[in-house]
Amino acid sequence: MFFMLESLVGDILITVNEFINSLIVNLLDAVFWPESTMTISAPGWGTVSLGNINFAPLFAMLRDVGIGLITLKFLKKGFDVYIGWTDGDKDNDVGHLVMNFARAIFTALAFNVIYGFIVGLISTLLLETLNALTAGATPYFENIDINLIAPPDGLVFYAMLLVLFVILIVVYFRLLIMGLHLLMLRAAFPIACAGLIDNDKGIFKNFMQKFVMISVTAFAMIFFFRFSLLLVMNANPFWGLAAAMAALKTPDTLREFMIGYGGTGGLGRASMATQQTVVAARAIVSLVKR
């Protein structure tokens, strides 16, 4: 009975192992450049002749919309401030408004180049960090062979690997969701640049906070994802499982420090506390008036 159970778990692991190996390849591209991996058929699903998904026209259209919106906002603000005298201070230097306009146009047009440069740095940093941990022995971790790491008669080891792989699959799909959110934010970035016309940066400030938050969270999750596989390759399933769970809990951890991914974390709690204080103060004032 024990042998049959171990054999069953081992067969399941072989299937899951092959699936995990297919997910690891191009993990960074799947998150930061999801449009480049959407044209690749999923492993084992063959090909579908419905044509390739091309996001280039969508990005170009939204870029043109963003440039037009920036221009309209610049003209409207200039008219309201210096002609209509209904907004701002007409004595302010018009050069400041022109500089904001130029900054908005440049940021909208140069974003893709800057984004590619930053993603390249992130990719290099991730690989160099993993290489430093392993002295360059297994830099990419793109192939896991459970037959090399599982001890004989290791039913507990097999069971832990099965749990680990299930968690990694969940983490992978969370990363794909983040990739879609980043894709949406990248597409809408030129429109958000219209906020740079305002002195307080308008919507652009909050937009960038969310963009950075998702990017940092995704980077940390990818690191723990790969690190868990490294620990498994070194026959440390306990630490591998812990690293996989750390990847799963990364958004909750970072939520305490920035505008949270999927919530507002500490900022939201502070805002709620402020609102409750205001409500309590109003109740006290009304009671005193009575």
Q: Is pLDDT of 267 > 90?
A: no
**Which pLDDT band, with edges at 50, 70 and 90, does 271 fall under?**
very low
15-19, 90-94, 234-238 — which is least confidently predicted?
A: 15-19
pLDDT at residue 61 in the model = 93
pLDDT at residue 135 in the model = 61
pLDDT at residue 10 in the model = 55
Instruction: Report domain extents, the chain.
Output: 2-39+54-254
pLDDT at residue 274 in the model = 45
Lookup: tokens for 100 = 């904001």
pLDDT at residue 268 in the model = 44
pLDDT digits (tens, 9 = 90+) for 6-64: 555 555 555 555 555 556 657 888 889 888 877 655 555 555 544 567 888 889 999 99
CA atoms of 252 and 265, how far apart (whole Å): 8
More confident position, 117 or 14: 117
CA distance readout (Å), 155 to 123, 146, 187: 36, 13, 48
pLDDT digits (tens, 9 = 90+) for 163-218: 887 888 899 899 999 999 999 999 999 999 999 988 888 889 889 988 989 999 99
Q: What is the mean pLDDT of residues 98-114?
A: 92
CA distance readout (Å), 191 to 100, 103, 178, 202, 207: 15, 13, 20, 12, 10
CA atoms of 23 and 211, how far apart (whole Å): 24
pLDDT at residue 149 in the model = 52
Give the ranges where the chain is alpha helix by DSSP (H).
2-24, 27-32, 34-37, 56-82, 94-134, 146-149, 155-192, 203-233, 237-254, 265-289
Query: Model pTM?
Result: 0.73
